[in-house]
């Protein structure tokens, strides 16, 4: 099968399976803008599908082998379209090449002077969003692909006409190894996705391969405070620009002052003052995310003013410490944290905010992650004043391990396990007091609990 670049030719015809997805719909727009005829399918009509149809892109609702005809030169599938998908099977039966979406994005990156790829076990969405704010403030008209909704864009993507593309780059299944970064950001490396990676060393090896994708004249931006990142990159023959709080960092944060959910600090570049930042999101982890974004901006030649004003307007991405409203005098927030390291950063950020109590409703994400990191989850979930555990969100998995959130609850003294959201809401109605902070936390659908309580209060 030829590389995807061979199909980036005006007049070619492509079919996108799952065209309404978060990374597939902007892919459709970019390919369509290249003069390629695009058709696709999705399981339901959505706002993204309606937008694509308004551009003249035909979308079939439902996956059907009959949708695939010999007229198509290539097919791109979303990650959710497995080999048993009828459209995938039909394309292969006709000899039509089937590409992964990451292969398509990787080929498209080569058309941009700057391909900024944001990777890391934690913080990718936030840092990609911060970089987007900076690039928009600098009027660089970027193309953007984020794994969450950014209020600035009213979406998780943007198709621009500038020379820079910004991509959130995930390590799961080594998917980011299909990308072609000119600038690769590595925020941190932790043991995660252990249903795919054998262990932490395997994760580090994957990130090293990602860093090696950067061309000799490119830059790897790395967190000097993260031991796993720096050990993974030891001996890398690429330019490395470091960021962090340590004096050894090329881009360093100093004079940090936190006031509630806001943080002020100075950014030094190679020891000299670069700019002062005022963040409207809490926590040292967000200071480091901002430093990574500043390092990317420096590499791209952007001005200190663009960094300062771009980040001054950043108030977080969807599901990243997102304020949902109030219930019985308590503040209700939602966060995507689904790894012990992310829980630690979240709780570190909220503990100084002065709330009477912190109540966490946590929904573990996947059986394999819960099992592999069980002790670390217990350690963090002991910290809130009250932890309410929802049942594990299965996502792509089947429970062959016999594990449940009830297993966590047995090890956490201040916890309650309830298998349904209705039962959890009953407990919360009786428990929430004025001055509390209520956090729905997890990568599944636990956010519904907070949203429904806030809706009741209205």
297-309 per-position pLDDT tens digit = 999 999 999 999 9
> Domains of the chain, with CATH numbers?
4-104 (3.40.50.720), 112-312 (3.40.1190.10), 322-457 (3.90.190.20)
Q: How many CB atoms are located within 10 Å of the residue 244 CB?
A: 23
pLDDT for 369-406, tens place per residue?
999 999 999 999 999 999 999 999 998 789 999 999 99
Whether pLDDT at 176 is above 90: yes
pLDDT at residue number 195: 84
CA 432 distance to own-chain centroid: 30
Q: Can you tell me the distance from the alpha carbon of 32 to that of 14, in angstroms, rounded to the nearest whole number?
A: 9
Residue 260, CA distances (Å) to 198, 280, 287, 326 in order: 40, 9, 14, 18
d(CA 26, CA 302): 25
pLDDT per residue over 34-43, tens digit each? 899 999 999 9
What is the 8-class DSSP label of residue 55? T
92 vs 44: which has the higher pLDDT: 92
Catalytic site residue from 125, 132, 366, 370: 125
325-380 pLDDT, tens digit per residue, is: 999 999 999 999 999 999 998 999 899 899 999 999 999 999 999 999 999 999 99
What is the structure's pLDDT at 193?
86
Q: What is the pLDDT of residues 114-148, one digit of tens each?
A: 999 999 999 999 999 999 999 999 999 999 988 77
Residue 396 is predicted with a pLDDT of 75
Nearest to 31 by CA among 83, 86, 74, 67: 74
Q: What is the pLDDT of residue 244?
A: 98
Which residues is 16 bridged to in the sheet? 40, 76
Q: Helical H runs in 227-373?
A: 227-232, 284-299, 304-312, 340-350, 367-372
Sign for the CA dihedral angle at 207, 209, 211, 213 comes to negative
Q: Give the pLDDT score at 259.
A: 87
Q: pTM of the entire structure? A: 0.84
User: Is 125 tagged catalytic?
Assistant: yes
pLDDT at site 321? 86
Closest CA to 281 of 313, 315, 309: 315
The pLDDT of residue 47: 85
**124 part of the active site:** yes
Query: Is a pLDDT exceeding 70 seen at residue 149?
Result: yes
Enter the DSSP assignment of 327. E
pLDDT digit string, tens, across residues 401-420: 999 999 999 999 999 999 99
- The verdict on whether 326 is a catalytic residue reads no
Out of 29, 87, 168, 171, pick the active-site residue. Answer: 168
pLDDT at 1 over 70: no
Number of helical H runs and strand E runs in the chain: 15, 21
Which residue has tokens 């555990």?
Answer: 389
- How far apart are alpha carbons 80 and 39 in whole angstroms? 18
Q: How far apart are CA 119 and CA 187, in angstroms?
A: 6
- Which single residue is written with the structure tokens 């992310």? 342
Select which of 48, 124, 204, 288 is catalytic: 124
CA–CA separation, 431 vs 388, rounded Å? Answer: 11
Cα separation of 54 and 41, whole Å? 15
Residue 194 predicted with pLDDT over 90: no
The CA distances from residue 156 to 60, 151, 314, 327, in Å, are: 23, 9, 15, 29
Q: List pLDDT tens digits, range 216-245.
A: 999 999 999 999 999 999 989 999 999 999
Q: How confident is the model at residue 196 (pLDDT cuts 50, 70, 90)?
A: confident
Condensed to tens digits (0 to 9), the pLDDT of residues 46-94 reads 888 999 999 999 999 999 999 999 999 999 999 888 899 999 999 999 9
Cβ 185 vs Cβ 118: under 8 Å: yes
Given phi > 0 = left and psi -120 to 50 = alpha, else beta, which region is 179? beta
Determine the 3-state secondary structure of 214 from DSSP: coil
* CA 443 to chain centroid: 11
At 59 the pLDDT is 97
What band does 261 get if pLDDT is binned at 50, 70 and 90?
A: confident
| Cα–Cα dist 57/13, whole Å | 12
> Beta strand pairing status for 13-17 and 37-42?
parallel
How far is it, in rounded angstroms, from Cα 330 to Cα 340? 25
What's the CA gap between 453 and 436, in Å, rounded? 14
- How much is the CA Rg of the chain, to the nearest whole Å? 22
pLDDT at residue 163 tops 80: yes
């Amino acid at each position: 099968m030829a590389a995807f670049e061979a199909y980036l030719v005006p007049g070619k015809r492509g079919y996108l399976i799952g065209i309404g997805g978060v990374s597939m719909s902007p892919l459709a727009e970019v390919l369509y803008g290249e003069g390629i005829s695009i058709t696709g399918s999705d399981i339901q009509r959505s706002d993204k599908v309606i937008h694509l149809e308004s551009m003249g892109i035909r979308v079939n609702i439902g996956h059907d082998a009959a949708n695939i005809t010999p007229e198509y030169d290539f097919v791109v599938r979303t990650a959710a379209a497995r080999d048993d998908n009828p459209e995938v099977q039909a394309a292969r039966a006709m000899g039509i090449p089937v590409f992964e979406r990451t292969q398509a994005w990787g080929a498209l990156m080569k058309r941009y002077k700057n391909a900024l790829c944001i990777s890391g076990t934690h913080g990718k969405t936030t840092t990609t969003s911060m970089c987007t704010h900076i690039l928009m403030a600098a009027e660089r008209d970027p193309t953007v692909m984020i794994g969450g909704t950014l209020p600035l864009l009213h979406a998780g993507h943007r198709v621009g006409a500038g020379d820079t593309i910004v991509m959130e780059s995930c390590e799961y299944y080594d998917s980011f190894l299909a990308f072609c970064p000119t600038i690769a950001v590595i925020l941190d490396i932790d043991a995660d996705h252990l249903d795919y990676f054998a262990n932490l060393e395997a994760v580090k090896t994957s990130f090293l391969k990602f860093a090696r994708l950067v061309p000799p004249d490119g830059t790897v931006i790395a967190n000097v405070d993260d031991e796993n990142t720096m050990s993974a990159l030891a001996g890398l023959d690429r330019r490395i620009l470091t960021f962090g709080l340590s004096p050894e960092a090329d881009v360093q944060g100093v004079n940090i002052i936190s006031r509630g959910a806001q943080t002020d600090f100075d950014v030094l570049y190679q020891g000299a003052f670069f700019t002062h930042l005022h963040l409207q999101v809490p926590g040292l982890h967000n200071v480091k995310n901002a430093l990574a974004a500043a390092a990317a901006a420096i590499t791209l030649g952007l001005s200190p003013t663009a960094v300062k004003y771009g980040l001054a307007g950043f108030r977080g991405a969807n599901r990243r410490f997102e304020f949902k409203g109030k219930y019985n005098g308590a503040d209700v927030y939602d966060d995507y944290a689904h790894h012990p390291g992310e829980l630690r950063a979240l709780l570190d950020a909220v503990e100084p905010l002065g709330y009477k109590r912190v109540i966490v409703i946590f929904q573990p994400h996947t059986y394999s992650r819960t099992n592999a990191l069980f002790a670390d989850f217990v350690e963090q979930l002991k910290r809130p004043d009250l932890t309410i555990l929802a049942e594990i969100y299965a996502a792509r998995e089947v429970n062959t391990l016999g594990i449940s959130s009830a297993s966590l609850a047995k090890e956490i003294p201040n916890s309650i396990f309830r298998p349904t959201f209705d039962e959890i809401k009953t407990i919360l109605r009786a428990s929430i007091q004025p001055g509390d902070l209520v956090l729905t936390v997890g990568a599944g659908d636990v956010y519904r609990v907070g949203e429904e309580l806030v809706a009741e209060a209205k």
